[in-house]
Amino acid sequence: MRNSAPAPDHGLEFVGGALALDFTNTVGGTHTEPTHDHIRGFDDLVRFLLLARNVSEADARRLMMRAQRQPAEARKVVERAVALREAIWRVFSAVANDETPTAEDVALLRKEALRAASRAELAVAGGHGQWIWRVGEDLEYPVGALARSAVELLTTAEELSRLRECASETCQWLFLDRSKSRTRRWCDMRDCGNRAKARRFYERTTRAKRQARS
């Protein structure tokens, strides 16, 4: 598991519009040169799902308690989750930039999604069936939830058409553009958007001063 990036000095942000995208955004800076990483242990992984409203507080407590009893297994889950995060980012970054994802990354998504499917229950009620994934003390639940989210997004054309990657040179966050015009360029206008505007203003001002002196 990559843990060279320092711990963050701020809370998690949810601007992706889908669980899988928000998970790729737990890395600050770029994925090749991260400035910080929110996922540094199993508790971080569970806390992310809790804040994303994917698990309840009771489920989160059960998972963390199970992880305390089986720390080695919990570490393996975190390693899988981080590996999946990077594969998800590479797949969707490629799609957002009209490129073809690698077969290896797609295969990892498929592998984890099928692994999660094998742990699901099929329930039939009210004249229709549905898959149910119970959290309980299942340490593998977090990885399965992320894989399911990624595959669901990847196979939903309407949602996938809204996929974007932040236009900032120092950010690789992914998000779904839900604006009416579908012209959103930055993951967060208050952060990357404002920095980009400030940089362009500085460049224009500097260029104007140089032209005035020449």
Residue 146 resides in a domain: yes
Q: What is the pLDDT of residue 211?
A: 60
Q: What is the pLDDT of residue 199?
A: 45
Residue 167 resides in a domain: yes
Residue 76 resides in a domain: yes
Average pLDDT over residues 60-76: 97
- Distance in angstroms (rounded) separating the CA atoms of residues 176 and 187: 9
Taking the whole predicted model, whether its pTM rises above 0.95 is answered as no
Residue 13 resides in a domain: no
Q: What is the pLDDT of residue 64?
A: 97
CATH number for the domain harbouring residue 178: 1.10.3300.10
Q: What is the pLDDT of residue 186?
A: 85
Three-state SS for the chain is CCCCCCCCCCCCCCCCCCHHHHHHCCEEECCCCEEEECCCCHHHHHHHHHHCCCCCHHHHHHHHHHHHHCHHHHHHHHHHHHHHHHHHHHHHHHHHCCCCCCHHHHHHHHHHHHHHHCCCEEEEECCEEEEECCCCCCCCHHHHHHHHHHHHHHCCHHHHCCEEECCCCCCCCEEECCCCCCCCCCCCHHHHHHHHHHHHHHHHHHHHHHHHHC
Q: What is the pLDDT of residue 201?
A: 37
Residue 176 resides in a domain: yes
Q: Evaluate if residue 188 carries a pLDDT over 90.
A: no
Q: Which of 30-39, 106-115, 186-195 has the highest mean pLDDT?
A: 106-115
Strands 121-125 and 128-132: antiparallel
* pLDDT band at residue 15 under the 50/70/90 scheme: very high
Residue 27 resides in a domain: yes
Q: What percent of the chain has pLDDT above 70? A: 86
Q: Evaluate if residue 97 carries a pLDDT over 80.
A: yes
Residue 130 resides in a domain: yes
Domain total of the chain: 1
Q: Range of 137's domain?
A: 19-182
Q: What is the pLDDT of residue 88?
A: 98
Q: Evaluate if residue 117 carries a pLDDT over 70.
A: yes
Q: Evaluate if residue 196 carries a pLDDT over 50.
A: no
Residue 190 resides in a domain: no
Q: What is the pLDDT of residue 49?
A: 98
* pLDDT band at residue 30 under the 50/70/90 scheme: confident
Q: Evaluate if residue 13 carries a pLDDT over 70.
A: yes
* pLDDT band at residue 6 under the 50/70/90 scheme: confident
